């Protein structure tokens, strides 16, 4: 019992180190993303503020403040009648348990509307949002090329762009306008992200099950090992079970970094190699060794064999094929 307790504590300690190194808000904010609670828009025709518009045209590019991003050179702009100033006030709700610091909004114009976005400025204030559902507002200003100073046209242009909320230097999430939701519900990237989360959670559950066995739990243990004549082919030690638990947790985290979360633990090369390797390992496990495990095993009459045919092998096939799909399409 003392040995099991020691192994259990070692596994928990190693997992805590892994999560502590990789977290820094990433795990929590990926599980509970900040929400756009309210969006308030002020539309001002550039013709109504010719002084500001003309001052922008005269200012050299290297004279702009660092929080202002220039997409097109304002010096090339013509008459202000074809342009609109938009001020967005976004109220962000912090749904997590960690404080968000130094918030700002960033914009990534897609190719379709790149010619319509002239410049934008981020809120340069050091905003902090307390955890547990607290909210805070920040401003985002943009100059658009429009056919008319109409709010619907301005929001349509922005809704086809990628609007990012960034905080703490390296954390970010996408803020979708309400109008954007219907266009991107079935985007391939979204499907791959959901698939990545599903695989990651399954692998984390399997890791937790192995930790449960280390602690002396017996549920599911009898059918987890191939057997012959009523006797298991081998009896895994607490140490080997702990190693499997850690490997499953690492595999879960790797799959999440492939598509669902920002890579912070695995370098890009290791992600690529690990993704293909994991997909191959689970797929080969489903095929089996043609004797004890897999769809083509010869041993059919044991408890393990029945569970393997009904659950283990199909699950491994799902995991393997899904990971390979993420590698190909993600």
- Indicate whether 198 pLDDT > 80: yes
- Indicate whether 330 pLDDT > 70: no
Burial per residue of 13-51, b for 16 or more beta-carbon CB atoms within 10 angstroms, e otherwise: ebbeeeeeebbebbbbbbeebbbbeeeeeebebbeeeee
pLDDT band of residue 328 (cuts 50, 70, 90) is confident
Q: Collect all residues with Cβ–Cβ distance below 8 Å to 106 and sequence separation of at least 6.
A: 69, 122, 163, 164, 166, 172
Q: Provide the β-strand partners of residue 162.
A: 108
With tokens 């993600």, the residue in question is 330
Mean residue pLDDT across the chain: 78
Please give the full DSSP string across 55-107, using - where no structure is assigned.
HHHHS-GGGS-TTEEESS-GGG---GGGEEEEEEEEEEE--SSS-EES-EEEE
How far from 202 is each of 195, 196, 218, CA to CA, in Å? 11, 10, 20
- Indicate whether 20 pLDDT > 80: no
Token representation of residue 291: 């004797």
Closest by CA position to 226, among listed 144, 158, 315, 289? 289
Alpha helices of the chain — where are they, by DSSP H?
Answer: 2-22, 26-31, 50-58, 151-159, 181-184, 188-214, 238-259, 268-287, 303-307, 313-329
- Indicate whether 30 pLDDT > 80: no
Closest by CA position to 85, among listed 50, 36, 61, 109? 50
Largest CA distance in the chain: 90
pTM for this entry:
0.52
Which range of 146-155, 261-270, 291-300 scores highest in mean pLDDT? It is 291-300
Give residue-wise pLDDT tens across range 233-279: 888 888 999 999 999 999 999 999 888 777 778 887 888 899 999 99
Crossing angle, helix 268-287 and helix 238-259, to 10 degrees?
A: 120
Token representation of residue 195: 């698939």
Please check whether residue 133 is in contact with residue 93, taking contact to mean a CB–CB distance below 8 angstroms: yes
Please state, for a pLDDT cut of 90, what percent of the chain lies above it.
Answer: 19
- Indicate whether 26 pLDDT > 50: no
pLDDT band of residue 183 (cuts 50, 70, 90) is very low
Please check whether residue 35 is in contact with residue 84, taking contact to mean a CB–CB distance below 8 angstroms: no
Q: d(Cα 84, Cα 87) in Å, to the nearest integer?
A: 10
Whole-number pLDDT of residue 179: 45
Burial class (CB in 10 A: 0-12, 13-18, 19+), 79: exposed
Whole-number pLDDT of residue 185: 34
Token representation of residue 214: 């280390």
Q: Name the region of 165 (left: φ>0; alpha: ψ -120 to 50; beta: rest).
A: beta
Whole-number pLDDT of residue 223: 83
Read off the pLDDT of each residue in 101-119 and give the average, rounded to a whole number.
69
């Amino acid at each position: 019992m003392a040995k099991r307790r020691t192994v259990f504590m070692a596994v928990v300690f190693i997992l805590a180190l892994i999560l502590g190194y990789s977290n820094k808000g990433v795990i929590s904010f990926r599980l509970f993303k900040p929400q756009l609670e309210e969006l308030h828009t002020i539309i001002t025709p550039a013709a109504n503020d010719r002084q500001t518009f003309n001052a922008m045209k005269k200012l050299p590019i290297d004279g702009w403040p660092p929080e202002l991003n220039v997409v097109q050179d304002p010096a090339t702009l013509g008459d202000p009648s074809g342009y609109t100033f938009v001020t967005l006030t976004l109220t962000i709700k912090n749904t997590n348990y960690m404080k968000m610091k130094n918030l700002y909004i960033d914009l990534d114009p897609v190719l379709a509307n790149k010619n319509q976005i002239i410049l934008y400025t981020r809120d340069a204030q050091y905003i902090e949002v307390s955890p547990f559902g607290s909210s805070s507002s920040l401003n985002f200003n943009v100059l658009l090329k429009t056919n008319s100073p109409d709010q619907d046209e301005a929001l349509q242009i922005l809704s086809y762009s990628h609007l990012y909320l960034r905080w703490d230097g390296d954390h970010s999430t996408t803020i979708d306008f309400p109008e954007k939701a219907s266009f991107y519900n079935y985007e391939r990237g979204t499907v791959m992200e959901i698939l990545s989360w599903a695989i990651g959670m399954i692998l984390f559950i399997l890791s937790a099950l192995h930790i449960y066995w280390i602690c002396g739990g017996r549920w599911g243990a009898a059918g987890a090992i191939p057997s012959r004549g009523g006797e298991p082919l081998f009896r895994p030690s607490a140490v080997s079970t702990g190693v499997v638990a850690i490997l499953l947790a690492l595999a879960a985290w790797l799959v999440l970094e492939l598509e669902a979360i920002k890579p912070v633990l695995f370098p890009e090369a290791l992600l690529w190699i690990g993704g293909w390797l994991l997909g191959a390992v689970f797929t080969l496990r489903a095929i089996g060794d043609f004797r004890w495990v897999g769809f083509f095993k010869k041993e059919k009459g044991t408890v393990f064999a029945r569970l393997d045919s009904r659950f283990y092998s199909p699950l491994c096939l799902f995991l393997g094929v899904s990971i390979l799909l993420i590698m190909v399409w993600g």
